[in-house]
Amino acid sequence: MSSKPTRRALTVAASLIVAACAAAGTAAAQASVQVKDTSPVSGAHHETDTVLADAFDAVNRNTAWQQTSKLKLNFPTYHTEGIAFSQDHIFLSAVQIIEPTVKYPTPQDGYDRTPGKGIGHLFVMDKAGNLQKDITLGEGDMYHPGGIDFDGTNVWVPVAQYRPDSSAIIYKIDADTLDVHKQFEVKDHFGGIVLDKQTGHLVGNTWGSRRFAEWDLQGKELATWENPNYFIDYQDCQYVPNAKMLCGGVTNLPQTPAAGGTAATYELGGMAMIDLKSHEVTREVPFQKWSTAGHVATRNPFKMTADGNHLTMKVAPDNGEEGNGTEILTYEADVAPAK
C-alpha cells in the first residue's frame, strides 16, 4: 500500500531539483566560457579548429598573393620586430637603437660583440593604426624586443640583449588592461615566443632561430631542440591549433660579384610551420613580395589568419626611418582545398 509523501519530503525533493538545475546551469555557463571566441582577428580558433594549419598546408611557390591594403603608421616606430592583433588593439614591438653593437676582433667573456644601448617599445594602437600607448620594456643590456604573440588574453614579448648567447626577459602584457608582468628571465637571446595552448607552456626561438626551448610559466626549462632547417631565420611567430607554430622570416644572402658580391645582400623571405610535438618543420615556403623600402615582406612582423581556403597575411617590414616609414601591409591569397 502506497502512502502520500510528507510536506518535509516534498520540500527536500524540491530543493534537490533546484540544486540540480543550478548545477546544470553552472556547467553550461562554464562550457560557454570555455568555447568563447578569443580569436585575434576573425573566426574561432579553438584547439579543434585547424583551418589555418590546413590552409597553410596548401601554400606553395605558385600561390598568388595580392597586396590588398597598406596602413601607414604616423608615429616613430624605429626598427620593427613583431606584431599581434587582439579584438581591440594592434600591438607592434620595436627597438630604438641609441648605440649600435660593435663586433669584437675575438670573442670576449662569451660574447661576439658589445652590448650597445637601446630602448625596447611595445606600441599599442587602435585598429586604424593610431598610437594609444607606448610601453617601454627591458632592463639594462636587455632592450631588444623580438617576435610577439597574442594568446587570446595576453601578449607575450621576449626582450633580449642585441647579441647571441646572451639573456632575455619574458614579459606578459594583459591585452585589455595593458598591465605589464615580468614572467621570468632566461639565459640566451630569444627573439620569438608563442604559448602552446595544448600544454600551457611557452616556446621560444633563439638568435637566428637556430634553437628552440620550451618552458613552463614559471620559467623552468622543459625541453630544447635544434632547428632542423636552415632556409630562413624566423623573426615573428604565432601559435596555431593543434600544437603548431607558424613563423615568418628572412635570410640575407650574398649577391653575385656583378651585383656587389658579399658587400650587397639579397633578402630571401619565407614562412614555416613547425610541429610543437615532433619538432619537425612540416611545411616551408618562400615569399618574395617587396615593401616600399625594398625589403622582403616577411622580414620582421608577421601574422596570418584563414577563412576557409582564403588566407590573409599582415606584415610590417619597413623601419620608421625607411621609405614611407612603417606600413602594415595586407596580402591575401586563395589556396586549393585539401583533397
* CB burial readout 70-90, b (16+ within 10 A) else e: ebebeeebbbbbbbbbbeebb
- Choose among 151, 250, 166, 141: nearest CA to 203: 151
- Residue that wins the pLDDT comparison between 33 and 141: 141
Contact (CB, 8 A) for 154 and 177: no
Average pLDDT of the chain, as a whole number: 88
pLDDT value at residue 5: 45
Residue 202: all three cell numbers together: 611557452
- Choose among 220, 226, 329, 221: nearest CA to 274: 226
- Choose among 335, 292, 328, 324: nearest CA to 313: 328
Residue 120 domain-assigned? yes
User: Hey, is 242 helix, strand or coil?
Assistant: coil
For residues 158 and 192, give the distance between their C-alpha atoms in angstroms, rounded to a whole number. 6
Provide the number of structural domains found in the chain. 1
- Choose among 303, 331, 291, 334: nearest CA to 81: 303
CATH of the domain at 204: 2.115.10
pLDDT value at residue 19: 41
Residue 58 domain-assigned? no
For residues 330 and 41, give the distance between their C-alpha atoms in angstroms, rounded to a whole number. 13
Mean pLDDT, residues 103-128: 97
For residues 218 and 39, give the distance between their C-alpha atoms in angstroms, rounded to a whole number. 25
- Choose among 247, 250, 147, 153: nearest CA to 191: 147
Cis peptide before 324 (omega within 30 of 0): no
- Choose among 215, 220, 209: nearest CA to 246: 209
Residue 278 domain-assigned? yes
Residue 44, pLDDT > 90, answer no
Residue 307, pLDDT > 60, answer yes
Mean pLDDT, residues 285-289: 96
pLDDT value at residue 26: 40
| Inter-CA distances, 220 with 50, 94, 199, 242, 260, Å | 29, 27, 14, 23, 46
**Residue 4 DSSP code:** P
Q: What confidence tens digit (pLDDT) does each residue in 195-222 have? A: 999 999 999 999 999 999 999 999 999 9
Cα 258–chain centre separation: 38
Residue 253, pLDDT > 80, answer yes
Least confident among 39-43, 203-207, 263-267, 309-313: 39-43
- Band of residue 49 on the pLDDT scale cut at 50, 70, 90: confident
Residue 281: all three cell numbers together: 618543420
For residues 135 and 307, give the distance between their C-alpha atoms in angstroms, rounded to a whole number. 32
pLDDT value at residue 213: 98
**How many helices (H) and strands (E) would you count in the chain?**
2, 23
- Choose among 87, 57, 117, 103: nearest CA to 274: 57
Q: Identify the sign of the CA torsion 318, 323, 324, 325.
A: positive
Range of the domain at 112: 73-306+314-326
- Identify the helix (H) or strand (E) that includes residue 187: strand 180-187
Whole-structure pTM value: 0.85
Residue 60 domain-assigned? no
Q: What confidence tens digit (pLDDT) does each residue in 257-286 have? A: 999 888 888 999 999 999 999 999 999 999
